[in-house]
Structure 1
Amino acid sequence: MRFRQVHLDFHTSEAIPGIGTEFSKSQFQSMLRTGHVDSITVFSKCHHGWAYHPGEANEIHPQLSFDLLEAMIEAAHEIGIKTPVYLSAGLDEKLARRHPEWLIRDAEDRTRWVKDFMTPGYHEFCMGTPYLDILLAQIHEVVSRYDADGIFLDIVGVRKCRCQYCVAKLRAAGQDPRDEAAVISLGEETYLNYARRVRETIDSVKPGLPVYHNNGHQQRGRRDLVLVNTHLELESLPTGGWGYDHFPLSARYAQTLGVDFLGMTGKFHTSWGEFGGYKHPNALRYEAALSLAHGAKCSIGDQLHPSGLMDEATYALIGAAYSEVEVKEPWCDGVQSVADIAVLSLEAAREACPGGQSLKGERNLADPGAVRILTEGHYLYDMVDTMTDFNAYKVLILPDEVPVWPALAEAITAFTAGGGKVLATGRSGLTPAGDAFALNLGLRWQGANPYKPAYFLPQFTPGALLPASFVMYGEGQLVELDGGQSLGRLENPYFNRDVFTFCSHQHTPGTREDNGPGMTLSENGIYIAWNVFSEYADGGHLILKEMVLHALSRLLPQPVLRTNLPARGITTLQYQQEERRYVNHLLYATPALKGRIEVIEDIVPLHDISVSLRLPSDGAIRRVYLAPAMTELPFTAGAEGEVTYTVPYLENHQMAVIELV
């Protein structure tokens, strides 16, 4: 994959005249050059179902009089730009009205995306119907007739469906369509069959052509769903509902999988389908740099005007980001994440836990909360699943609700036997039945605390705060020591808030009595009795972060990286093995919430950012410099791979390169 991609939407109603009449090869090329674009996903078929080229497998848009797909491919290839081709796989509105019996249906026979045909919007197809053969013919035609550099298939994934085709399949197999597990299993089978047949269709013409199936979210713990793709495109538009925490969460998992991937944002003020909406250039500069810092390449979403004229303001905006990406690419390709900490994703743990699949779709704030705290604490971490070798890390975090079944307990026990440490919070570490700890953390579980909220009095100084009885709003756990030691105590309130027992405006104060440990230390790790990660993601209470950071200071006294970046700053460390160099990414911007949307406008420069690294390397340090400016940085090298340097100026994104002998 290339670094500077544009994903060009073109979902265009048949009621709009003059489709593509203002398309110009020279203008198209000029805009791509302005945007510093080196790959653009162009379109064969849109959500409305129309093709933008002649053929037998689909109908050309009734208001289009020429082969727009071919014109775009030829124009882009002429100036060395790649052209993956987009087909809307799950949506085809013209066909939906002709064959509504092929659509996904729920138990009440409602369609997916919009519930009926009197509501404006699209309807999603079931891939277990004859529609799949039509889609495969459309893909085959594109791959056969056009010089596509890849295929992008949209709106696809594992779905629950009770259309009459799925109902018939279930009944023929002796299963009950009212059985949720049977419906889910058929959905898995249907999707993997679709993906296999797509691959066979493409390979019959162009073996190995890149293909990506987009579902808007890469499910952690489902490596089988990763492997149906040649690469990953992580859709994550911060202003479109994903927020600025989503991409780091997805990327820190994706990079552990060993596949090429990119981060997909958009030029829009909001999200897809918005005409006339533009971000501040600083927002795209930051979002592109965020991709580079996490080992990803970049993609920016745009939507072409029905006339076919590329928007000058959009490509000037994209160019502000991609002109910077272009000169940084040599330090961002072929990189490996360097991390001290593995966060076992709650999403992945639920997927792997026997019986845990029933929790699919349940609210999960533990994963994003872990990302936020570790990012603000400037720790190097990966988000991992249960197939990961934990021994590659020093600390394993089990955030909030991770159940531990025998196979996982065995892997974690081997990890701690080798010197690794565990940080478990809330109900994490309990058996799937939730009745006892499955790990030796120096304590015994007594049950959930009936008091909520309760209070935590630390036996340490929590960062910028002084020790006090801090309110813990969520459910706490009652534990007693069994070989461990307390790092702070649980204090209950006088009573829960009730009609006859309430105090003040919110909740009852604590009794200041010791009701058992609220945070414990053992030789295998630290346990915190509340869902601190979920609560931090939801409310941002400072004490929650300070509890985790104190725990990590005990479990990881010598992290690979230390820096004085502000909390909102982001730092990562990537290793380029072939070049024998580390690249330390430093980013700083502060998204502001305007109504319901996080936006970035001003980027405030920072000065004199100190960084200290303990590099896991066997090579001496040749030099440290800033890339791409090639400015030499003075540094101090010590024993065991230690190196310290100061980045004098940081505006948005800076890369410090540590080159080995």
Structure 2
Amino acid sequence: MNLTRRTFLKSASLGPACLGAANLSLVFGAQSERKEAPMKDWLKRRGRIYWYDQYALNEQDAAFAKYDPDRITEELVATGADIIVLYAANQFSIAYYPSTIWPQHPNLRGQDYVGDLLSRLRARGKKVVTYINWLESRHPEWNTIPLGAENDPDHKEMPLVSWADPADPDKRVQRVPGGRWRFPCINSPRRRQVLAVAREIVERYKPDGFHLDMFHANGALCVCPYCRPEVERICGTKEITRQAVAAHWREYIDWKCQRSASLIAELTAMLHERGILACHNAAFPLHLPSIYGVGEEWMPHLDVYVSEIFANLYMPSTTVRLQRALGLPSWELLTSTAPYYAHLSVPAAWWRMSAATCKANGGEVLGPCGVGAFPDTTSSKRLLDTVKQGFDFFMQDADLAEGAVSLAKVGMVFSWATRKYFKDGAMNWSEEIDGWARLLIGEHLPFDFIVAEKVASASDLSRYDLIILPNTANMSDAFCSAITEYVRGGGRVLGIGETSFFDEKGLKRTDFALKDLLGVSSKGSFEGNFAIERPGGPEPATGILQQVAASAKVVARHVAVDPAGSVSGTRDPLPIKPTEWPVVVANTVGKGQAVYIAFDVGRMYSLQNLPHIASFMADVVDSILPTRQIAVKAPRSIEVTVFEQQAAQRMIIHLADHTQSPTDMTRITEIIPVHDIEVTMRPPFPNPKVSCRGSEVSSSVDGDRL
């Protein structure tokens, strides 16, 4: 199958649905023509959400100066948004409606911003989510006090606004500057107040959904009066230090995650009693340390998974895949204002790349967030126009999303336990996943995430040709048994680093639980620079090497480097000679195979992006993978995913262009066209019909290859 230069240039004039504008979709099947069949369930169909950020400072003459609910409604409707998120308060919990609990912003002069807009948007057929923020500006005694910052004046009371009531603790409103986040402790009386305000809002306005923001964003090791007694009990001392907490990390993180989840559980239960969806911000667990409190315990209390896209396209690629694995609808928010600006729209290219990435990975809902509207309630025309363009592009080919199921043959394991208990909250596990995700995307290998805690038996893994365990340190015995049976039955596993060395409760085992499967036994570890045996000679590496004894075939060994170090003080000292320590071990178990890599190679690739490490990782994958699901000749910036729509009898290959800077969209102002892409695969159907959304395509069959 070829997209030639001629057909690409011809298609480029057809509009935005070409790879020059971020994505193409190849469709195979007996019914490859376009059909419109909107789904009734608004949570499960592709949709557009406008996260209408209406920020205003507590004391600001311009706030609400041009408030006109009819104009705002028309602006929002004109973007094409299906779901609108309305602020019920500002970023510091000053109400935008006549609240009996929080003081109302004085510039509204008693007007009901929430009621005005909600009623108008409902009349226009829009779904409405109401929003409040965990941040606070009246009770400094509730503030989080990070360890080591007990005397920081930033946690003390700020000057009051002119309209504050100094005699009323709930009306001692502070003049908090823009951008200054003041986090109440998650164990403070703020908990009860947020629940009361949420109840007031949903009972008064009956929105379709409710969102609590910024509760996920407090990653401090808090020693405020509400936390300190319990932290002292956990650590067994009144002298709290980071070392003391690290020594009792399991107990500490269990407590913090439980306290965080308990509020979300109570809030969601109240919402569900009233038939309202829980749409809280749960951030991006692949990239957020467990100390922030968001974890597996939150998942039963979310109806959708709300995350944000920042400047790195790998984040939505991996986040949406994980949301699919968790079984929750994916709502992705693109920060729609440029970095260091609050109201300046991002370039249209960022929207297209983000939308293409979400479409390619099965994301249901996309929209803007950030700040957006000016304090006076007007919005720049450029921002509104860019949002509409982004929405229009995202909704193109929405029929390809309905009932689509991933056909990826590679699975990468995500473990809540590893995220929670990994070495004092360190993010090595995250960097390992990120490195392997980048490698698979660059190699055009479609992959899914597998959530370890959701695997009940080997049958849950049987659809995959290869399962990657990316330094999945914490595994239950049950999961280890499922992986072992999967391999015995003919599956293939690639394990890395400390995989299976700890159990699901964070306790260290005496050896790898998968030692017989991987063919290795632990003898220790070291961290530093070394080299790897490669066909063309030793190549440099760095990281944490697990020193193992191999009971299976050693494919590559650790090469010692000059103990004098590098001549330039860098990471590649002179390789001296191979040692006894294996770097790659291959084992045959039953009908299947296992390969073990002894160091955190994915983390190295994530942090350093070195081509020789990418080649090493790809060689290991190809050594164990029986065949690639599809072969794609295209730049490494092209992300490839594969889905199936059984009802429509068609298979879909998405090609999303991450351009030349996928880790930093801020460097991109335009999307460079890509052409002459070739895709080779086994025909998914007899005599398949092949079409291409956004370009022309030619196809041919040669034996068993399409």
The alpha-carbon distance between structure 1 residues 394 and 41, as it changes in their structure 2 partners (threshold 3 A), is same
Residue 632 of structure 1: CA displacement?
A: 7.3
The alignment status of 1:217 with 2:288, answered yes or no, reads no
* Cα displacement string for residues 573-618 of structure 1 (whole angstroms, at most 9, x for unaligned residues): 1223333322211011425499x87432221212231223347x7x
CA RMSD for the aligned pairs?
A: 3.4
CA distance in 1 between counterparts of 2:400 and 2:639 reads 18
Q: Structure 1 residues 203 and 393 mapped into 2: Cα distance closer, same or farther (>3 Å)?
A: same
Going from structure 1 to structure 2, the CA distance change for 1:548 and 1:508 (only over 3 Å counts) comes to closer
How far apart, CA to CA, are the structure 2 residues paired with 1:280 and 1:289? Answer: 15
Q: Distance in 1 between matches of 2:575 and 2:641?
A: 41
Counterpart residue number, 1:150 = 209
Q: Against the structure 1 CA distance between its residues 400 and 71, is the aligned structure 2 distance closer, same or farther, given a 3 Å change threshold? A: same
Measured in 2, the distance between the counterparts of 1:295 and 1:440 equals 37
Change in Cα spacing, 1:68 to 1:167, as seen in structure 2 (3 Å) is same
What is the rounded CA distance, in whole Å, between the counterparts of 2:91 and 2:153 in structure 1? 12
Structure 2 counterpart of 1:544, one-letter code: I
Q: Where in structure 1 are there 5+ consecutive unaligned residues? A: 460-466, 645-661
Q: What is the CA-CA distance between 1:621 and the residue it aligns to?
A: 5.6
Partner of residue 586, structure 2: 521
Distance 1:333 1:315 in 2: 28
Change over 3 Å in CA distance of 1:538–1:114 after alignment to 2:
farther
1:582–1:475 distance in 2 versus 1, CA, 3 Å: same
Deviates more, 1:173-182 or 1:35-44: 173-182
**Mapped partners of 1:554, 1:325: distance in 2:** 38
Structure 1 residue 538: Cα displacement? 0.7
Shift of the 257–47 alpha-carbon distance from structure 1 to 2, 3 Å rule, reads: same
Report whether the alignment pairs 1:87 with 2:155.
Answer: no
Distance 1:151 1:403, change over 3 A: closer
The letter of the residue matching 2:585 is T
In structure 1, how many angstroms separate the alpha carbons of the residues matched to 2:638 and 2:418? 31
Correspondence for 2:256: 187
State the partner residue of 1:232: 305
User: Looking at both structures, which has the greater relative contact order when contacts are Cα pairs under 8 Å and sequence separation is at least 6?
Assistant: 2
In the TM superposition, what is the alpha-carbon distance from 1:73 to its structure 2 partner? Answer: 1.9
- 1:36-185 matches, cutoff 5 A: 36-65=80-109, 66-88=111-133, 90-93=134-137, 95-96=138-139, 100-107=140-147, 110=150, 115-117=155-157, 121-157=180-216, 161-167=222-228, 183-185=252-254
Deviation at 1:636, TM superposition (A): 4.1
Could you tell which deviates more after superposition, 562-571 or 12-21? Answer: 12-21
Answer whether contact 1:396 1:422 (CA < 8 A) is retained: yes
Q: What's the secondary structure of 2:543's corresponding residue?
A: coil
Residue 396 in structure 1 maps to residue 467 in structure 2: yes
Aligned to 1:613: 681
Q: 1:108 to 1:427 in 2, by over 3 A?
A: closer
| Separation in 1, partners of 2:192, 2:427 | 34
Q: 2:258 is paired with a residue of what secondary structure?
A: helix
Distance 1:113 1:335 in 2: 53
Task: With the length of structure 2 as denominator, give the TM-score of the two structures.
Answer: 0.78
Change in Cα spacing, 1:440 to 1:16, as seen in structure 2 (3 Å) is same
The alignment status of 1:284 with 2:351, answered yes or no, reads: yes
Once the 2 structures are TM-superposed, how far is the Cα of residue 103 of structure 1 from its aligned partner? 3.1
Residue identity in the other structure for 1:608:
D
Is this contact kept in 1: 2:637–2:662, CA < 8 A? Answer: no
Aligned residue runs from structure 1 range 274-353, under 5 A: 274-296=341-363, 297-303=365-371, 304-345=373-414, 348-351=416-419
Tell me the alpha carbon deviations over residues 172-194 of structure 1, each in whole angstroms, 9 at most, x when there is no partner: 99997867555544433333331
Matched, 1:623 2:694: no
Mapped contact 1:212–1:232 kept (Cα < 8 A)? yes
Instruction: Look up the equivalent residue of 1:580 and give its one-letter code.
Output: Q
Tell me the secondary structure at the aligned position of residue 583 of structure 2. Answer: strand
Summarize the Cα distance change of 1:15–1:435 in structure 2 as closer, same or farther, 3 Å threshold. Answer: same
Within the alignment, does 1:416 sit opposite 2:482 as a pair?
Answer: no
Q: Does the residue aligned with 1:275 lie in a helix, a strand or coil?
A: coil
3-state SS of the aligned residue for 1:608? coil
> What's the secondary structure of 1:49's corresponding residue?
coil
1:50-100: CA deviation from partner (whole Å, max 9, x where unpaired): 111123232210111222222222332333332211111x2121x22xxx3
Deviation at 1:307, TM superposition (A): 0.8
Contact 2:54 2:377 in 1 (8 A): no
Asked if the contact 1:232–1:262 (Cα under 8 Å) also holds between the matched residues in 2, the reply is yes
Distance 1:449 1:92 in 2: 46
The 5-angstrom pairing of residues 624-639 of structure 1 reads 624-627=690-693, 633-636=697-700
The equivalent position to 1:588 in structure 2, one of 657, 665, 668, is 657
Q: Distance in 1 between matches of 2:74 and 2:256?
A: 45
C-alpha spacing 1:267/1:643, structure 2 compared with 1 (3 Å): farther
SS for the counterpart of 2:533 is strand
Tell me the distance in 2 between the aligned counterparts of 1:151 and 1:428.
39
Q: CA deviation at 1:567?
A: 0.6
Is 1:371–2:429 an aligned residue pair?
A: no
Superposed CA deviations along residues 249-291 of structure 1, whole A, max 9, x for unmatched, are 22221111222112211112227xx324332111111101111
2:701 & 2:354 partners in 1: Cα distance?
Answer: 33
Aligned-partner SS, 1:527: strand
- Are residues 375 and 307 of structure 1, via their aligned partners in 2, closer, same or farther at CA, if it must alter by over 3 Å? same
Identity level (%):
18
Describe how 1:243-642 pairs up with structure 2 within 5 A. 243-270=312-339, 274-296=341-363, 297-303=365-371, 304-345=373-414, 348-351=416-419, 356=421, 359-363=424-428, 364-387=430-453, 388=455, 389-400=460-471, 402-403=473-474, 406-428=477-499, 430=501, 432-433=508-509, 435=511, 438-441=514-517, 443-445=519-521, 447=523, 452-459=528-535, 467-484=536-553, 486-497=554-565, 503=567, 506=570, 507-513=572-578, 515=580, 517-523=582-588, 524-592=593-661, 598-614=666-682, 620=686, 622-627=688-693, 633-636=697-700
Q: Which amino acid aligns with 2:533?
A: L
Inter-CA distance 45–572: structure 2 relative to 1 (3 Å threshold): same
Q: 1:127 and 1:422, CA in 2 relative to 1: closer, same or farther beyond 3 A?
A: same
Give yes or no for contact 2:282–2:306 (8 Å, CA) kept in 1: no
Once residues 77 and 643 of structure 1 are traced to their aligned partners in structure 2, the CA distance between those partners, rounded to angstroms, is: 52
Is the Cα contact below 8 Å between 2:73 and 2:117 reproduced in 1?
no
Is the CA contact (8 Å cut-off) linking 1:454 and 1:476 kept in structure 2?
A: no
Asked if the contact 2:337/2:344 (under 8 Å) is kept, the reply is yes
Contact 2:418 2:475 in 1 (8 A): no
The aligned residue for residue 23 of structure 1 is 67
Rounded Cα–Cα distance in structure 2 between residues aligned with 1:436 and 1:40: 49
- How far did residue 522 of structure 1 move? 2.1
Which structure 2 residue ranges, 5 or more long, are not aligned? Answer: 1-42, 159-175, 503-507
Distance 1:382 1:442, change over 3 A: closer
Q: Matches of 1:141 and 1:531 in 2, distance apart? A: 50
Change (3 A) 1:360 1:174: closer
Q: Which residue of structure 2 aligns with residue 655 of structure 1?
A: none
CA distance in 1, matches of 2:233, 2:528: 50
CA displacement 1:422-465 (0-9 Å, x = unmatched): 11233335464475573335644464576942222324xxxxxx
Q: 1:503 to 1:313 in 2, by over 3 A?
A: closer
Q: 1:257 to 1:636 in 2, by over 3 A?
A: farther
Distance change (3 Å), C-alpha of 1:390 and 1:635: same
**AA partner of residue 63 (structure 1):** N
C-alpha distance in 2 between matches for 1:442 and 1:223: 28
Contact 1:350-1:359 within 8 A present in 2 as well: no
**Native 8 Å contact 2:519 2:586 kept in 1:** no
Residues 587/450 of structure 1: CA separation in 2 closer, same or farther (3 Å cut): closer
User: Relative to structure 1, is the Cα distance of residues 25 and 580 closer, same or farther in structure 2, using a 3 angstrom cutoff?
Assistant: farther
